[in-house]
Structure 1
Amino acid sequence: MNTTAQLKKNYHFIKYQKLIIVAIVIGFLSALLAIILKRMTEHYETILLDKASNHWYFFILFPIFGLSVISILRYYLFQKKENKGIREIFETTAQRRNSLPLYKIPSHFINGFITVIFGGSTGIEVSTVVATATIGSIAQEKENLFNRHKTELICAGVAAGITALFFSPLAGILFAWEVISKKINAVFLLTCSIASAVAYLMIQLLNEKPLFPVQLQGWHWHALPYFVLLGLLAGMNSVYLTKSVLFFKKHFSKIKQHSNRIIMGAAILSASLLLLPQLYGEGYHAIKENILLANHTLLTLSVALTFLGIILLKPIVTSVTLASGGDGGVFAPSIFIGGFIGLLLAICLNTFFNANVIPLNFMILGMGAMLSASINAPLTAIFLTCGIINDYTLFFPIVLTCWVAKYTAQAIYPFTVYTYNAVAK
């Protein structure tokens, strides 16, 4: 072997050795960050929601307090720059010289936490994704050997964060591919697989539980047409969510005084929370309550109006939260809305058509279908849905509804909140 070939072989050996080490570190730090943010948010959201449920005026005070604190922190601590969510990652990966600055970790961690615990109707998923992507970006900057692998290391952080939140390494890797990278190579597979494996090991060691542990009863082939119908409804509602976010961001951006945006946003959010407390935060508390009762829920006027109100108002309050300065994205709202679409459809089918479908199954399927359509990532949605319940019983129906929802949404409107740009305007 000549000297040039030997040097090239040594270079690749050293590079992959270092990539393995850095992927382990990224996986550990990203999982740790995601788990801490998840636990803190769940703990304090429960406390503050309980306070507001017992004293209605907190539904008015919490949103304006939370949005105001975020604005103050952004002005004095985070370089007066607003968080753009997933778009920040796109802007970084699009150009080799760009990078995610270190302050993006505390910025998204703190702002995402404050947004949700004080009633902002989003979730911590996008905050976690950008913060963990920043870990990968910083790791790339520390070693010249990684100059050509910035996207792969960012994706490793993202994959580990999603794995830690949703109990599914496959969902983490697929999200990094479908949404962030759009391409696969050897370095991507190596770093994302290792980071996700480390994150999964972390959640096992720390005894993390699936988001919605359930006992499923199987499913029936006669329900296939109804699964398709659910996919169609989820796809249409995802377009409503996307257009709501774009509409409110556009019109709130015309309000020059940021304090006026906060006041207007808090007013809309507070009025919605007083009407439907289920809209508080990411809404997982309401999903968990309804999962327990799903198969015993009967269609009454009160139930129908409540579920319709949730489905129609959640996109608006999510959009207002983001437009007025809150941190987050459409990840959690999609899961939340999809769950209630599925439950309402199932009890309507059983009441009016004697369809004999299982409402709990439709809740789970609705979550995946709505997420698939909202972020245009059906493979991520399929494995993430199985991960959040830690059960693959509904795998085939989930595949069906996720793909139907995605293509329905694309047929109506070709953009998501992630891909919308000046061309769409």
Structure 2
Amino acid sequence: MHKVSNRNFVIFLAFVVGIVGGIAASLLKGLTHSIASFLQDDIDWHYKYSIYLIFPLIGILLSVLYIRKILKGKKFEHGITPIIYAISRKSSRIEPHNIYSQIITAAFTVGFGGSSGLEAPIAHSGAAIGSNMGRLFGLSYKEVTMLLACGASAGISGAFNSPIAGMIFSIEILLTDFSIPVLIPLLISSALAAVVSKIFYSEPLFYTNTTHWELEALFFYFLLAAIVGVYTIYFSKLSQTIKSWFSRIHSPYIKVWVSGVLLGIFIFIFPALYGEGYLTIQQLLDGHFNAVVKNSLFSDFKNVTWVVLAYTVLTLFAKSFASLITVNSGGNGGVFGPSLVMGGLLGFAFAYGVNMTGIIQLNVPNFVMAGMAGALSGIMHAPLTGLFLIAEVTGSYALMVPLMIVCSISYLINRYGMKHSIYTKVLADSGDLISYEDKDRTVLSMMKLRYVIEHNFVVLYPEETPNMRKTDIIHSKRNIFPVVDRKGKFLGIIYSERLFSILLGEEKGADLPFEVLAQKPNDTVLLDENMEVVMQKMNRDDVWILPVLDKDGTYLGFISKSAVFNKYRALLMRQSSYLE
């Protein structure tokens, strides 16, 4: 019997991950839309619409109760950021419960009308499938990471029926150090997930009949790109602000009530905010330009063009608040879907507004799609994902040139204003982000100080003397000795050169206590300090070794450049090989 190589085995597992990921995506879409359909169409009772506005609150509450009562203390995180963190800090380990808990909580949140998307939860679920399948078979870090990315690709591919976008999503967002061999497993998983999703849940996301774009409209695509790029900066900054607001609310149930009331108010004024919002975008693509206003408090003015334009702009900004409130309040969802909706609304408002001036008559659906692609590109820092996703889900390959222009310019503007994407900003601030633009800094940020502390030092106590510890000093393999009291508190250091000089009689002090002989080190290192800071301390004072203490001043060991360099080489080798 021939032994299967690891590379071939990973490809085989990519098949499995693709199939399971496609099933998971179909399950999430089917479950969410079943809940939404039941609440909106199947229930027929007198008080139904009197509680319609509190459905999002109920969905978020069910998600919180599931996390707190069913998962019972297991760590639950949502969005794409935890996946990136798992790759850079947790050896691509994602807890198994994410395979199903992401699906359940997202279905509750979005099915009951939470204003967020399903794509981040299904990508997280798919990544968990790949991660745990790799760990089940005892694969290496690089292989587990590969399967994690395959799972995320399968999730996106299954959610949108867009295999190319699913594959590119993993390359742009998760596997930033791209290499050609990555393509095969990702292609397999993405393709199979799309096939499986089409079998179990064949309803397409959007319909459009776009066949061409107008050359005279090219300038307006450039102008739209600039506007979308600026808007994505606004949204990224708003995300940080709202996240900060909700972080100050410590009770999860108070968060539920605050978010539920706010969402109810938003949805009452702007009905298009209910759920994902894709239905509104489809109506705009179909040419029903008053769809945003049609079911609102202002429906009597649905044929007044300036009302349609103003209300759409207000809905656009309300969507940014509603989506971020949903994902930061305990509900599960992501900004992937809302990015598409906001971009579509912005593209519509732009083209509709230009047409009102009479300067030119733009093809409004084309600008809706361009806005969707541009918003996704800027917010996620993923221009290729935005480009191919919109081209695939709408079938608008004829728009490739305008889409390329809008995606690239929006991305560049956002990148100029926001160095990191909405997914990586938090990780960059905490030093947990892998960045291949600054490999030295990245590798240092991957190190945990506790894993490079050296402990094999002879500890000297303050009341002892060199004569009393002569044997230990002579036989020590280290040239530095920490002086520590009986409670473990660090007092200072003594170098072996001075101790040998004393013991050989070249210097007085053989009977002096160590607390007198000890000297202060150039600096000390705290256990929770970043490795980049540690290296800065060493380089500043040109020292090779520093003592490590906890926050109470208790001695823990030493950190040396030798240990750091050894760990650096190991991490560098792991980084360079995990995508081979």
Quickly say closer, same or farther: Cα 1:61–1:145, change in 2 above 3 A: closer
- Distance in 1 of aligned mates of 2:162 and 2:325: 30
Cα shift at 1:414: 2.2
Q: Give the TM-score taking structure 1 as reference length.
A: 0.92
- Distance in 2 of aligned mates of 1:367 and 1:263: 31
- Distance in 2 of aligned mates of 1:356 and 1:161: 39
* Larger proportion of strand: 2
Q: Which residue of 1 aligns with 2:439?
A: none
Q: Give the TM-score taking structure 2 as reference length.
A: 0.68
Amino acid at match of 2:66: L
Q: Which residue of 2 aligns with 1:323?
A: 328
Cα shift at 1:183: 1.9
Amino acid at match of 2:350: L
Verify: 1:371 aligned to 2:376, yes or no: yes
Q: Which residue of 2 aligns with 1:4?
A: none
1:210–1:387 Cα contact (<8 Å) kept: no
Pick the aligned partner of 2:366 from 361, 366, 373.
Answer: 361
Q: RMSD between aligned alpha carbons?
A: 2.4
- Distance in 2 of aligned mates of 1:411 and 1:52: 53
- Distance in 2 of aligned mates of 1:263 and 1:314: 19
Cα shift at 1:353: 4.0
Q: Which residue of 2 aligns with 1:274?
A: 268
Quickly say closer, same or farther: Cα 1:301–1:107, change in 2 above 3 A: same
Cα shift at 1:85: 1.6
2:56–2:114 Cα contact (<8 Å) kept: yes
Cα shift at 1:419: 1.1
Structure 1, residues 330-364: CA drift from partner, whole Å, max 9, x if none? 11111001111111111111111421210011111
Structure 1, residues 274-322: CA drift from partner, whole Å, max 9, x if none? 0011000111111122222257997623212320111110111111111
Cα shift at 1:421: 2.1
Quickly say closer, same or farther: Cα 1:100–1:45, change in 2 above 3 A: same
Quickly say closer, same or farther: Cα 1:358–1:98, change in 2 above 3 A: closer
Q: Which residue of 1 aligns with 2:571?
A: none
Q: Which residue of 1 aligns with 2:417?
A: 412
2:207–2:282 Cα contact (<8 Å) kept: no
Q: Counterpart of 1:99 in 2: which secondary structure?
A: coil
1:34–1:128 Cα contact (<8 Å) kept: yes
2:157–2:193 Cα contact (<8 Å) kept: yes
- Distance in 1 of aligned mates of 2:231 and 2:331: 22
Cα shift at 1:12: 9.1
- Distance in 2 of aligned mates of 1:390 and 1:167: 11
Q: Counterpart of 1:101 in 2: which secondary structure?
A: coil
Verify: 1:302 aligned to 2:307, yes or no: yes
Structure 1, residues 360-381: CA drift from partner, whole Å, max 9, x if none? 1111111111111110000011
Quickly say closer, same or farther: Cα 1:364–1:12, change in 2 above 3 A: farther
Verify: 1:44 aligned to 2:35, yes or no: yes
Q: Which residue of 2 aligns with 1:214?
A: 208
- What is the aligned-residue identity percentage? 27
Structure 1, residues 101-136: CA drift from partner, whole Å, max 9, x if none? 111112110111111011111011000000000000
5+ residue gaps, structure 2, are: 292-302, 431-580
Q: Which residue of 1 aligns with 2:8?
A: 17
Q: How many residues align?
A: 416
Q: Counterpart of 2:205 in 1: which secondary structure?
A: coil
Cα shift at 1:404: 0.9
- Distance in 2 of aligned mates of 1:286 and 1:52: 26
Amino acid at match of 1:192: L
Amino acid at match of 1:68: L
- Distance in 2 of aligned mates of 1:296 and 1:326: 30
Pick the aligned partner of 1:76 from 69, 80, 91.
Answer: 69
Verify: 1:168 aligned to 2:162, yes or no: yes
Q: Which residue of 1 aligns with 2:24?
A: 33
Cα shift at 1:32: 0.8
- Distance in 1 of aligned mates of 2:72 and 2:10: 32
Verify: 1:95 aligned to 2:86, yes or no: no
Higher RCO (Cα < 8 Å, 6 or more apart): 1
1:109–1:127 Cα contact (<8 Å) kept: yes
Q: Which residue of 1 aligns with 2:281?
A: 287
Verify: 1:152 aligned to 2:146, yes or no: yes
Pick the aligned partner of 2:229 from 225, 232, 235.
Answer: 235
5+ residue gaps, structure 1, are: 1-9
Cα shift at 1:168: 2.0
Structure 1, residues 3-27: CA drift from partner, whole Å, max 9, x if none? xxxxxxx999521221121111000
Cα shift at 1:271: 0.1
1:231–1:366 Cα contact (<8 Å) kept: yes
Amino acid at match of 1:287: I
Verify: 1:352 aligned to 2:337, yes or no: no
The structure with more radius of gyration: 2
Q: Counterpart of 1:131 in 2: which secondary structure?
A: helix
